[in-house]
Amino acid sequence: MRYPALIFDFDGTLADTLAAAVGVYNTLAESHSLRPVTMDEIPALRDYEVKELLKHLGISKLRVPALLAKGRNALRSDIANLPLYAGMTELLPQLREHCSCFGILTSNSTENVEAFLEAKGLRDLFTFISSTSKLSGKHKHLRAIEKTFSIRRSHMLYVGDETRDIRASQKAGIHVAAATWGFNSTKALKRHHPTFILEEPNDLLVACEID
């Protein structure tokens, strides 16, 4: 096993939360004077960096933490009913067999992730669930995970679907696998030169050198 420590993003990587998140955002947009989003816009928005997306939506960085918190709370009632990406149910136990550390680092809440995993019967697979309230704070959490579990950076792989996941991993000095089935487009992900590009979940088996 090339990476005995696998850490996953949640939204867009494990859970298909996009449509639900757009619905929650549009509800918040009505009460916070923000620009609403339609599903027809999503293909174009997938090419955006975080700063570009916030500018497009008219959201200042100062408002992001409060909006994220409200969005996570609004998503809680439906989280257990949202789908896991196809193939993950079979893939995750297979990967877990080869890992000593198997975790989640997300901008969603730990409560939401716990509820989702419990509903799918997958909670016992994971060593930890870590949450950050900032869009740009994941690199610090990755470094903390390295220290907490005494893991070599060369043994860690972060799996995420956004360009900010790639940047965070590179800043933390660890390898990163970019999932093309999530929010950011393949074009946007490739611009940041991740260690691996995943076209489908099973590509992780190749990245981790599992037969």
Six-digit token pair at 135? 């869009």
Residue 211 annotated among the catalytic residues of the structure: no
Which region, left, alpha or beta, applies to residue 134 given φ > 0 means left and ψ of -120 to 50 means alpha?
beta
Buried b (16+ CB within 10 A) or exposed e, 23-56: ebbeebbeeeebeebeeeeeeebbebbbeebbee
Structure tokens belonging to residue 3: 């990476």
Asked whether 4 and 16 are in contact (CB, 8 A), the reply is no
Strand partners, 126: none
- Catalytic positions are 9
